[in-house]
Amino acid sequence: MLTSLYISNIVLIEKLNLQFGNGLNIMTGETGAGKSILLDALSLALGARSDTGLIRNGCDMASVSAEFDYINDNAKNVLDENGIDYNDGLILRRTLSVDGKSRAWINDIPVSIKVLKQVGDEIVEIHGQFENHSLLDAATHLTSLDEYTCLYNSDFAQQLDKTKSAYNDLHTSQRRLKELTEILEKSESERDFLEHNVSELRKLNPQPGEEDELANARAAMMNAEKNAGILNDAIEVLKNGGNSLDEQICSVAHILERIKTEPNPYSDAIDKLYDAANIVAEIGEQIHPENTNIDDIDSIEERLFAIRALARKHRCSCDELPNKLIEMENQLNAIDNSDVELKKSRADVEKYTKIFNECADKLSQMRESAADNLREQILKELPDLKLGSADFMVDIQKSEPSANGTNDVVFMIKTNPGTPFAPLHKIASGGELSRFMLALRVVLNNPNNKKTIVFDELDTGISGATAAAVGARLNKLAQNEQLLVITHSAQVAGFADKHFKISKQSNNNTTTTTVNEISGDERINEIARIISGATITDESIATAKTLIKH
C-alpha cells in the first residue's frame, strides 16, 4: 500500500509529507483548496505526463516521492524485468525542472518514465474526472473477468492452465508444419542443384586431410625432378666428356710413378691420388638421378586442384567437403521423405487443434457463466448508487486463438433505458463513471492482486442515502484494498479510517495548500462544515457525530 507521499514545490504546495494508512483514507476540503493538486502530484510519481505548469511559481524544480510497503505480483514482474530490487519496499521518485526535463527513479535506480508508469499502473489505480486507469482499458477486461471467474468457479484456474498448455502444443506444431512446408517448397526447387552437387562430391570423394597430403606429395615430386637435373650435372662433370674423373686421377698417378729417382719423391702424392681416385669412383657409383614419374605428378595435381575448386564452389575448406556431402545428402533425404514428415506434421496440427478447441470451448462456457453472475451482482449494486437506470453486460466475442483461449471480452454499459450498450469508457459523467467503477471494484475485488485505488468526483450529484451507499461500499472495498478518496460528502467522510483536511492559506501575496490528518473534535467540525457550509451549527455537529463510523 501507499505509506507516504512527499511533495515539494508543486503548484500551491511548498512542502508536504503525508502518511497514509490501511483501509479508507478520506480527503476533504473547501472548493479550490487544492485537492486536485494531490492527485496531480501522485500521478506524476506514477509516471503521468509531466507539465511544467505544475512547478510552484518562483521555483526551478518540483519533486514528488511515493513510498509503498506492499507490491503485487504484476508490479514485481515489471521490477524483475528491469533488475530492480524491492525487498525493502518501493519508492517511486520524480523530478520536474522548469526547462521541461523530467527524471525518474525507482528505489534510487534511474529509470525511464515508461518503466515508472508500468510499475505505477500496477500498484495504483486512479478514477477521476480527467484520469482513469485499468478497468477503462478494454485490454484488461479479459483478465478481470478471469480473476472473477476464478473466484466464482474453482475449476477455472486449472482449465486455463490446460488451455495455455494446449495452445503451446498447437503453436509448436503449427510452427513445425510451416517450417517443413517452407523447406519443401525451397528444396524442391533446389533438387537438381543438390543432386548434381551430391554426385560431384561422391565421385571425387574427398577425405579430411587429403589436401595436405596431396600438396606435400606434389611438392616432393617437384623437388625430386629438380634434384635429378642437379645429379645429372654432377655426373657429367665426373665423366668429363667421356673419361671419368677417377680414371684421369689414376692416369696422373701412373705418370708420376715413371719418375726414376729412388726413392720416388712423389710416393706420398701418388698414394693420395690413388685414394682420391677410389673416393671419386665410389661417389660416382652413389650418384643416380631420382626416379620421377611425370604422370604421377600430373594426376596428383589434377586431384588437388579439383578438391580446391569444389571447396571454393561450396565456400568451405577442403576438409569440410565430406560434411558438406553429408549435409546435401540429408537435404535430399528430407525431400524424398518430406511427404511422410508433412503428413505427420499435419496430423499433429489437427490433433492439437482439436485438443485446444475443446479446452477453449470449455473455458468460454465458464467465462459466460461467470459473466452472467457478474452482471447479476453488479446490477444489484447500481440502484443504491443512483445508477438504477443503468445496465451492464459482458460482451464475449470469438477471437483468434491465444494462450487465453478464443475470447475477446469488453465490459459494456448503458446509462438510460432504450439506449444501446456501449463500452465502459463511453460513459460521459465523471460522477456516474466513478460510481460505476466503484460497483465494479466491489464485485470484482480480488484479494490476490491488491492495489491502492484512488477515487475522485465519486460523489458528484449525489447526497443522502446514495452518498451513504457509496460510503458503505467504499468501506467494504477498503477491507481488502487501500483507498484514497477525495470527497465532498459528509456521509462518505464518516467512513474514513484516516481523515485528511486540505486547506489553503494566503500570506503576503503567497498562497499555500496544506494537508493535515484530523481526528476527534477537529474531524467532527470538518464533517459539520461539509453539512452546513461556512457556519457550523449545533445541528450539523450532532449530525456529524452520527455519521462517523470509525
Q: Each residue of 194-233: pLDDT tens digit?
A: 888 888 888 888 888 888 888 887 777 777 666 666 656 6
Going from the C-alpha of 318 to that of each of 194, 196, 251, 296, the distances in angstroms are: 19, 18, 61, 21
Angle at 114 between CA 110 and CA 115, to 5 degrees: 55
Instruction: Of 77-81, 212-216, 468-472, give the lowest mean pLDDT range.
Output: 212-216
Residue 409, all three cell numbers: 471480452
Smallest Cα–Cα separation from 280: which of 315, 253, 307?
253
Collapsing DSSP to helix, strand or coil, 64 comes out as strand
Cα 230 to chain centroid, rounded: 74
Q: pLDDT grade, residue 188 (50/70/90)?
A: low
Going from the C-alpha of 529 to that of each of 225, 247, 329, 493, 499, the distances in angstroms are: 120, 146, 91, 12, 14
Assess whether pLDDT exceeds 60 at residue 241.
no
**pLDDT at position 410, please?**
93
| HEC assignment per residue over 102-115 | EEEEECCEEECHHH
Assess whether pLDDT exceeds 70 at residue 81.
yes
Smallest Cα–Cα separation from 52: which of 14, 104, 95?
95
**pLDDT at position 103, please?**
95
Average pLDDT, the chain: 85
Averaged over 171-180, what is the pLDDT? 91
Q: In the 8-state DSSP scheme, what is residue 87?
A: T
Assess whether pLDDT exceeds 60 at residue 95.
yes
Give the highest mean pLDDT range of 64-68, 473-477, 538-542.
64-68
Structural contact between residues 21 and 86, judged by C-beta atoms closer than 8 angstroms: no
Side chain identity at residue 461, one-letter code: G
15-71 pLDDT per residue, tens: 999 999 999 999 998 877 778 888 889 999 999 888 898 999 889 999 999 999 988
389-427 pLDDT per residue, tens: 889 999 999 999 999 999 999 999 988 888 889 888 776
As a whole number of angstroms, the distance between CA 386 and CA 491 comes to 15
Instruction: Of 148-162, 276-290, 361-375, give the lowest mean pLDDT range.
Output: 276-290
Q: In the 8-state DSSP scheme, what is residue 458?
A: T
Report the b/e string of 407-440 with b at 16+ CB within 10 A: bbbbbbbbbeeeeeeeebeebeebbbbbbbbbbb
Q: pLDDT grade, residue 104 (50/70/90)?
A: very high
**pLDDT at position 242, please?**
56
Collapsing DSSP to helix, strand or coil, 278 comes out as helix
Averaged over 499-520, what is the pLDDT? 89
Residue 68, all three cell numbers: 509503498
Residue 475, all three cell numbers: 468501506
Structural contact between residues 27 and 55, judged by C-beta atoms closer than 8 angstroms: no
Q: pLDDT grade, residue 498 (50/70/90)?
A: very high
As a whole number of angstroms, the distance between CA 305 and CA 293 comes to 19
Residue 71, all three cell numbers: 507490491
As a whole number of angstroms, the distance between CA 486 and CA 101 comes to 30
Collapsing DSSP to helix, strand or coil, 9 comes out as strand
Assess whether pLDDT exceeds 70 at residue 477.
yes
Question: To 10 degrees, what angle do helices 321-336 and 156-204 make?
Answer: 120
Averaged over 343-362, what is the pLDDT? 95
Instruction: Of 105-119, 151-165, 262-276, give the lowest mean pLDDT range.
Output: 262-276
Residues forming beta bridges with residue 409, ordered by sequence position:
396
What percent of the chain has pLDDT above 90? 40
Beta carbons within 8 Å of 455's beta carbon, 6+ residues apart: 127, 128, 434, 437, 438, 474, 483, 484, 485, 486
Handedness of CA 405, 406, 408, 411 (dihedral sign): negative
As a whole number of angstroms, the distance between CA 324 and CA 255 comes to 76
Q: pLDDT grade, residue 235 (50/70/90)?
A: low
**pTM metric for this prediction:** 0.67
Structural contact between residues 146 and 370, judged by C-beta atoms closer than 8 angstroms: no
**pLDDT at position 196, please?**
86
**Alpha helix ranges (H) inside 478-519:** 490-493
Structural contact between residues 202 and 329, judged by C-beta atoms closer than 8 angstroms: no
Collapsing DSSP to helix, strand or coil, 13 comes out as strand
Place of cell 478497468: 135
Structural domains of the chain, with CATH: 2-129+445-547 (3.40.50.300), 186-338 (no CATH)
Averaged over 481-510, what is the pLDDT? 90
Structural contact between residues 2 and 66, judged by C-beta atoms closer than 8 angstroms: yes
**pLDDT at position 509, please?**
79
**pLDDT at position 27, please?**
93
Assess whether pLDDT exceeds 60 at residue 130.
no
Smallest Cα–Cα separation from 160: which of 174, 175, 142?
142
Assess whether pLDDT exceeds 70 at residue 429.
no
Assess whether pLDDT exceeds 90 at residue 499.
yes
**pLDDT at position 257, please?**
67
Structural contact between residues 408 and 142, judged by C-beta atoms closer than 8 angstroms: yes
Which of residues 362 and 343 earns the better pLDDT score? 362
What are φ and ψ of residue 517, in 5° steps?
-75, 135
**pLDDT at position 294, please?**
53
